Amino acid sequence: MGWKFLMHPDALVSKVFKARYFPNASFLEAGVGSNPSFVWSSIRESQEIFRAGMRWKVGNGSRVRVWGDPWLTDKTNPYIITPEPDYLHGPCVNNLFCQNTKNWDYDLLRDIFCQRDVECIMSVPTSLADFDDSMYWGGEGKGIYTVKSAYRIAMEREGRAGVVGWSGVWKLNIPPKFKCFFWSLCSLRLPTKDLLCMKQVNCDQVCLLCGLANESDIHVFANCSFARSCWRLLNTTWRLAYLESVHAWVEEMWIELTSSTLEQAIMVCWSIWEARNQLCWKNSCLAPGAVVAYAQAFYDSWQSANAMLHGTGSISHDADSDAAAWQPPRNGYYKLNIDVAMDYRNRRMGFGWVCRDERGYVHAVIMERREGLYSVKEAEAMGARLSSKLMLSFVFAKRSRNMVAHTVASHALCNTEASRVEYLDSIPRFLSTVV
Ligand SMILES: [Zn+2]
């Protein structure tokens, strides 16, 4: 019924309840009211679940409040975490667009928000059309409410009502061994020296990595100078405060880091523990830079393998195979190949468009780099959007038949001179050996 109130406000039942219990607010903000009926009290019980599962889809941005509304695409926390400055008075999301365009004002975002929020905002796709903002159910891929997903959210909420929110680790896109490791860390089961001493194991308690303090879980992963060097290298603005417990530390991670950075942070934790064990058993020590690089290489490989599974990725192929696999358009037609390359670590995307005729002659090459990281489907849709007025039909092409566009998209990622470059009737040098 709560879903009906939100998605079908014109239905008779929605109008009746709204008039009685929340005439000047939405269902999500409705109070219990005076002398509530049993039915209303029961429906209102679901309010917290809807608050946790509902998301705003940004259209013209005039209805979504920057602070207080769930409009970011981050799975773990869809809300802005930067405190609202005093001089702003409840702005809506459209105030963050560049004037006369629907693109995010990157300079404005960096002036107001912390890095985590800037990354999350840049990852929200904007629309050229002037459609209204709308709500959808974030618990399902299709955005439609199901009882099953609501039940799952309710169970997760119960889990989070305990000490920390790390039960969400099972949802992250990292290999299972990292999840299991992190679960052990959060469950206080890693055999750190303080734990071994408590269990009457005869060993010293000095930290192997710094030699300056006793070894405990919070010391190894947060307070140790070795760990702090690793976190600085991970290039986040995450505050490196000294903390008393792993649970408080993990809670902070869950609130402040984006899903992508959180995944990398967990892999760095694993890498720190590996370095500690290597020092313990093999007496060889990795530098913090090597520890972080090892974790990030693992992370990049995992993301690339997953992207390949879903039809996109950044694994290069032999360029000759594209020339053989690419199919020219019919006589008198042009073919526009489009591709997107994702840089998960730096949270940016590269778009590539290559227009060729029936002889394979290149008429135009465009490459564009964008900050932020859309989902794979959103990125492909965004790539197609630019060319939608020119094309009569869309066909999905396998990577092996789309290598030229992919090469352009990959170059867009590392082109530091300009975010967008167009080549008309000429071929960039990096493509001369490919086409
Ligand atoms: Zn230490």
Rounded CA-CA distance 94/327 in Å is 43
Q: How far apart are the CA of 301 and the centre of ligand 1, in A?
A: 29
Q: Is the pLDDT of residue 355 over 80?
A: yes
Write the single-letter amino acid at 293.
A
pLDDT in tens, 20-76: 777 777 777 777 777 777 888 788 877 778 877 888 888 888 888 998 888 988 777
**Span from the CA of 217 to the centroid of ligand 1 (angstroms):** 10
Ligand 1 centroid–CA 22 distance in Å is: 55
**Tens digit of pLDDT for each residue in 232-278?**
888 666 666 777 788 888 888 887 788 888 889 999 999 999 999 99
Q: Tell how far the Cα of 262 is from the centroid of ligand 1, in angstroms.
A: 22
Cα of 270 vs centre of ligand 1, distance in Å, is 16
User: Is residue 167 over pLDDT 70?
Assistant: no
| Residue with the two structure tokens 């869309």 | 394
Report CA(227)–ligand 1 centroid distance (Å). 8
- Cross-strand pairs, 351: 340, 368
Measured distance CA(49)–CA(199) in Å, rounded? 42
State the Cα angle at 40 between 38 and 45, rounded to 5°.
95
Residues with CB under 5 A from ligand 1 (ion): 207, 209-210, 224
This prediction's pTM: 0.56
Taking the centre of ligand 1 as the mean of its atom positions, its distance from the CA of residue 64, in whole angstroms, is 46
Tokens of 399: 């990577």
| pLDDT tens per residue, range 114-147 | 888 888 898 888 877 778 888 888 776 677 778 8
139 is written with which tokens? 């618990």
Q: Ligand 1: distance of its center to the CA of 228 in Å?
A: 10
What are the tokens at 387? Answer: 């060319």
Centroid of ligand 1 to alpha carbon of 249 (angstroms): 16
Ligand 1: distance of its center to the CA of 218 in Å?
Answer: 10
Does residue 207 carry a pLDDT above 70? yes
Q: Residue 284 C-alpha to ligand 1 middle, in angstroms?
A: 16
Give distance in angstroms: CA of 207 to centre of ligand 1. 5
Give residue 160 CA to ligand 1 midpoint distance, Å.
Answer: 30
